[in-house]
Amino acid sequence: MIDLDDVKQRVDLLSICGSDTQLHKVSGTGGGEWAGPCPFCRGKDRFRVQPKQFRWLCRGCADGKWDSVIGYISRRDHLDPHNFRDLQEICRRAIGPAYTVPLASATRVIHEPDPSPPSPQWQQAARHLIQEAEKTLWSPQGKSGLEYLRGRGLNDQTIKKWHLGYVPYSRRETLNEGIFPDDDSIWIPKGIVIPGIIQSHIWYVKFRQIGREPKYLFLKGGHPGLFGADRLNRSPIVLFCEGEFDTILANQESGGMLAACTFGSASNHRALGFWGHFIAHAQHVLSLYDTDEAGQKGALALNGFGMPIYPLQLPNLPGVKDITDFYLNGGDFCLWLMQSIDGLITTWPLTHDCDKSPETSVHFEEKSPHPHTSHRLTKGVE
């Protein structure tokens, strides 16, 4: 993970830009501002550099938005800052040939102690709950829960792989003695059970209530974690999603071309540095969050990893705000994904037929909207 802040603060941005265009000082406030013709569009006096603020802009071709030395060199030299090797080269050209690209230090990324899974006692009780809920899902009592999951586009193999389950009625239950010394019992709501299992440890248990608010509840005592982390070391491409259901569907529908993961919500980003080693091997890291404001802020928060994460965006269509909406309304996620990143990823490791991957071979046919939805783009699944 490259420490981009270190690179931006160490460069002589004025000299770099001044070697490409003639600049003159127009202001002394804030460390000074220099102006001149844009080296890209050649527009007169529309280019600005504020070296002490580590930024530049062009009021023409850059839409008046400030950018850093990373954006400047990538644009000038036609390098892709979302490609890790290109980003390394950009940093070397910014600082000099003798420069060794530093890694982002843990102290700059982690703002709280390293997370850890809950106690063994809690995990034992949670494991019992998960197993019971999984068994219930495939029984007559779990019919409505199974229909809900299938209605979200998940096939039976996927449902079993992620150990999804169902609680048929809400209740209070006493867990193993000593887990919660201040409570005699905890609340277990009716709904879909989503286990947050990472490296055989149960970090959390999440409930998706159906027809009730809030939509999601957590089993007391769980700890936030990176859902899907176990699968990341098998793929050169990693995709961050906003929630668990989108993550599961993305893994199912991507045909093995990537591995998806999530922190569970747009606002839950705990100790990014701790989880960084799960994606350190990845050649390319992408994000696909919901199109609402919370989703966009969540995508920006991923910058705390200190490595380039390229944001993807679904088609701007009525009723489509996430991966599940897109799929249920007839979208071919694998094909869309390939088309979205083809050209972005210069070292594309897969065939362009979107029908093969290193792990699996999948035949794709023209899809019609999911049978649980109409042929029109409708309101998204909540």
Q: How many CB atoms within 10 Å of residue 22? A: 11
Residue whose entry in the numeric block shows the structure tokens 């309101």: 379
Question: What is the pLDDT at residue 143?
Answer: 97
pTM (predicted TM-score): 0.63
The architecture of the domain spanning 4-103 is Alpha-Beta Complex (3.90)
Question: What is the pLDDT at residue 113?
Answer: 58
Q: What's the CATH superfamily of 120-218?
A: DNA primase, catalytic core, N-terminal domain (3.90.980.10)
**Residue ranges covered by each domain of the chain:** 4-103, 120-218, 232-341
C-beta of residue 243 within 8 angstroms of C-beta of residue 298: no
Q: Is the dihedral of CA 84, 88, 89, 91 positive or negative?
A: positive
The correct answer on CATH 3.40.50.970 for the domain covering 232-341 is no
Residues 6+ apart with CB under 8 A from 91: 2, 4, 7, 70, 99, 101
- Name the residue among 225, 222, 259 with its Cα closest to residue 357: 259
For residue range 27-61, list pLDDT tens digits in order. 888 789 999 999 998 888 889 999 999 999 998 88
Q: How many CA atoms lie within 13 A of 182 on its CB side?
A: 2
Residues 6+ apart with CB under 8 A from 181: none
Question: What is the pLDDT at residue 343?
Answer: 59
Which amino acid belongs to residue 292?
D
Distance CA 341, CA 136 (A): 40
Measured at the CA of 94, the angle between CA 91 and CA 96, to 5 degrees, comes to 95
Question: What is the pLDDT at residue 8?
Answer: 84
Which amino acid belongs to residue 298?
G
For residue range 326-358, list pLDDT tens digits in order. 999 999 999 998 888 775 665 444 443 443 333
pLDDT < 70 stretches in the chain: 1-2, 84, 96-114, 175-184, 265-273, 291-301, 303-307, 343-382
